[in-house]
Chains A and B, each alone.
Chain A
Amino acid sequence: MADEVTHLIFGNLAILIPVIPIIASFIVLFLGKYYDKKSHGNLFALVATGGSLILTILVSGEIILRLLFEHAHIEEKIAFTWFHVGNVHIEFGVLLDPLSAVVSLLVALIAFLVVVYSRSYMSHEGSPRYYAEISMFAAAMLMLCFSPNFVQLFIGWEIMGVCSYLLIGYFYDKETVPEGQPHPASASKKAFLTTKVGDIFLFAGIILVYLTTVAASERFPGSVYKPSFDFIEIRHMIEAGVIPGIFDPGLFVFIALLIFGGAVGKSAQFPLHVWLPDAMAGPTTVSCLIHSATMVKAGIFLVARSYFVFEFADSDAMLIVALIGGITAIMSGTIALVQTDIKGILAFSTISQLGYMTIGLGVGGMGVAIFHVINHGLFKALLFLSAGSVIHGAGTQDIREMGGLRDKMPQTSIVMLIGSLSLAGIGNGFFSKDAIILHALDHASHEPLIYLVWLSSVITAFLTAFYIFRLWFLVFPGESRKPEHHAHESDSWMTRPLWTLAIVSLVLTGIYLLGNIPVLNIKLIPELNIEHHITEWLMGAAPHIDNGLVFITQLSSIIIALLGIGLAYLVYYPRKGATVSFPEDGTFKFEISEKDSIISVQQTSRSLIRGIKLTFFGRGIQRILEKGYYIDDLYLGLVHIIYEYYCEAMNWIEKNVFDNAVKFAGRIGYELCGISKWWDDTVIDGVVRLTARTSVALCGLAKATDERVIDNGIIRGSAKGVMKTGGYLRRIQTGIVENYALYTLMGALTIIIIGLLIAGVFPL
């Protein structure tokens, strides 16, 4: 790699990439009602996301081509100072490096395709609000991708949180939802609050990183090291040994885990994954955007972006990251097995794949994680958009009510097959997933616990192949289980984005194959070995992995994927003469009219699985999986318990502490009264009586004066006066808030005028 810094030709355009959709989102909000009325202002969003896609292709394309052919070291920051407080300059701008180039390309592409797709998909339910939010969502992710510092990243992060809230709750006024599905309004609330937990961790992490830079700048006053939020500056400080000279890596474990906490929330990792399955309450296009490009990838991107913190931190941080990834992958992979909602399967599959990416981050290959981000983004967008097409065509989300859609929706069925293969680990998904498994296995020799993670990733690969083909086999082949649904193929606004994604997916597979044929380990054109390149660009150098390990892993990956698909075929594929149906008891029936050899194998395996499912343990496991390991219920229970105990404790304090205090005070008062009563009765009364007698005499005198002068004159007179004044003044008290505000203003003005007079502004 050459060391000289090259200036990018299109670099200055990069700032426009997030800006265009932001502007468009406001335009569409106000003008979407008037122009392009039929599709709710889709045109504005289309132009904006298309424009930013073209710019991204220019900017990122240049970066990638230069990386490929010039082996340049590209890291260019184009930024202006947004504001400065003290000696901290907060900048706003773009950071152009391989990471931002690769991820932004994916984001811009998928955002554009989703907007194209929405034109038809949301033609009935759309509104300018929808397109404004979608544009803002994409813009926020692009802003996050290009952000040169933690502050801008956090802004993009939070805008995305808000947009996801708005979009998940898009159908907030829906009156009824299908059973078992959350209401959009509550789903959006859940998503927002759950990710907010992660955001707080991230915020704390950012502040701590900043404080370390403050300490570094104080250690070396007058040096180039300034307190900063900037990625490059902080990385330089770590690399130059300034921060390591002051702080222990153990502290950075803490910081790294706080930052990772943000990623756990946003990327739906194990303890905070509960929001993502509910997020499917939004429109399918939104799910697509959330699952493939914007929201959940932000967490992985964040960790990749602040990888220098993780690298510097003790290896414990990485280990925890990898373990969380492993738990997430296998847990949601198993939950996906029992889902019956087409989007539910894809949602849990996303969580499981995000687990893979987190494993990738944890086992020391941020390159492979980003590589999987790209591939997963493509095929998951493809799968979600196809699922949208299926839902649009078939009018249901339940895969038990589908079946036989291949004849009615031939295009969707083919593209979804491509996506499913990719997810199962045959297409472009193979390369990245396999790389992650490989790195995990390689890393396990240093860290024995990683063997568990590796095991989880291998089992998840099998589960993935199984559940995604369960979906495909139940939806497309065979005969329709609900013939009254008249399914139809979607129009070209929907199929074209699908084909685009399918073709991109296939082309990428081809490129990867040309670069490196797995198992055989033949590199036809080494320039196209993208996996190796991405690792090299992002990490500096690709770690060397033993060839034997590569061979075994790749071979086993393919075998595992095929095994998964084969099992799904045996259990779920409705061959000619055999139908699958779903009776009420939660199992499903397999009826045959004519027999051939495969069908009898299918029947055997089917009855075997049915037998397992119907045992006590089988039913229990099924129930646990359907409930998502009871994590939702656990959280709900915890909140209830805390709430109840808190109330209980407060009640006890109220009853025992405060009440007794009041009673005690009362008792003291009573006793004091007793004393004073005695004093009163004996001493004062005597005095009083004496005085009274004297006064009675005086009173006789006074009474005469009183009745004549005071009663009639002063008291009645003044009372009347007060009544009259009150009668006038009560009109001021209108009870209307605005009037009081006006009086306040008048009062303020009076005070100001008096102040001015006293100050001598107006000469009197």
Chain B
Amino acid sequence: MSFDSSIFIGIALMLFLIGFAGFIRSKSAVRMLIAIELMLNSANINFAIFALYNDIGLVTGQVAVIISIALAAAEAAVGLGIILSIYRKHGTVEATSFQSMKG
């Protein structure tokens, strides 16, 4: 392959860090879910980019991306469902207000 993949890996890294910063910084559970999607997608970019490196036409990387997109969709659905039921019960989705795991 004659192309330079470092830029894409850089993008993926950046995306991951943005997603992670968003995950750590944000209070709202919905935002956290969005941030998780960002991180998942950065992983997807890595999969797709490294998949281009084999010249024999294996598409395992792309297939992994598609599976992970499907998983992400399922995960988002479940996550949103949980958030929705939390909202119905407590009237808020601020993650900081749920600290029942506090030791």
Contact = CB atoms under 8 A, between A and B. Distances in A.
Interface of A: 85-86, 729-738, 741-742, 745
19 contacts: A85-B62, A730-B103, A732-B103, A733-B101, A733-B102, A733-B103, A734-B99, A735-B98, A735-B101, A735-B102, A736-B96, A736-B99, A737-B32, A737-B95, A738-B25, A741-B20, A741-B23, A741-B24, A742-B24
Interface of B: 20, 23-25, 32, 57, 59, 62, 95-96, 98-103
A738 B24 contact: yes
B14 to A, nearest CB: 16
B39 to A, nearest CB: 10
Nearest 6 pairs between A and B by C-beta? A735-B99, A733-B103, A735-B102, A730-B103, A735-B101, A738-B24
Given A730-B103, A735-B100, A86 B59 contact: yes
A738 B23 CA distance: 7
Contacts of B24: 738, 741-742
A217 to B, nearest CB: 16
A738 B99 CA distance: 11
A732 B103 CA distance: 8
Nearest to A730: B103
Given A730-B103, A733-B102, A85 B59 contact: yes
A5 to B, nearest CB: 33
Nearest to B63: A85
Q: Which of B57, B62, B99, B103 is packed against the most chain A CB atoms within 10 Å? A: B103
A733 to B, nearest CB: 3
Contacts of A737: 32, 95
A614 B57 CA distance: 74
A742 B96 CA distance: 14
A736 B25 CA distance: 11
Contacts of A733: 101-103
A742 B103 CA distance: 17
A738 B57 contact: no
Nearest to A85: B59
A85 B65 CA distance: 13
A743 to B, nearest CB: 11
B95 A738 contact: yes
Nearest to B57: A86
Nearest to B66: A85
A734 B102 contact: yes
B96 to A, nearest CB: 6
A745 B21 CA distance: 11
A732 B62 CA distance: 39
Contacts of B20: 741, 745
A148 to B, nearest CB: 22
Contacts of A745: 20
A567 B101 CA distance: 75
Contacts of B96: 736, 738
A15 to B, nearest CB: 25
A514 to B, nearest CB: 55
A730 B24 CA distance: 20
Q: Which of A734, A738, A745 is packed against the most chain B CB atoms within 10 Å? A: A738
B98 to A, nearest CB: 7
Contacts of B23: 738, 741
Contacts of B62: 85
B29 to A, nearest CB: 8
A648 B101 CA distance: 37
Contacts of A732: 103
A400 to B, nearest CB: 40
A439 to B, nearest CB: 44
Nearest to B24: A738
A731 B59 CA distance: 47
A730 B102 CA distance: 8
Given A733-B101, A734-B103, A735-B103, 18 more contacts: A85-B59, A85-B62, A86-B57, A86-B59, A729-B103, A731-B103, A733-B103, A734-B99, A735-B98, A735-B99, A735-B101, A735-B102, A736-B96, A736-B99, A738-B25, A741-B23, A741-B24, A745-B20
A741 B16 CA distance: 13
B59 to A, nearest CB: 5
A302 B15 CA distance: 39
B51 to A, nearest CB: 10
B42 to A, nearest CB: 14
Given A730-B103, A741-B23, A745-B20, A736 B95 contact: yes
B103 to A, nearest CB: 3
B78 to A, nearest CB: 16
A50 B32 CA distance: 41
A741 B36 CA distance: 11
B92 to A, nearest CB: 14
Contacts of A738: 23-25, 95-96
Nearest to A726: B103
B6 to A, nearest CB: 17
Contacts of B32: 737
A732 B23 CA distance: 18
Q: Which of A85, A737, A742 is packed against the most chain B CB atoms within 10 Å? A: A737
Contacts of B95: 736-738
A735 B103 CA distance: 7
A534 B101 CA distance: 70
A734 B101 CA distance: 7
B82 to A, nearest CB: 12
Nearest to B25: A738
B94 to A, nearest CB: 10
A741 B32 CA distance: 11
A20 B45 CA distance: 28
A732 B24 CA distance: 15
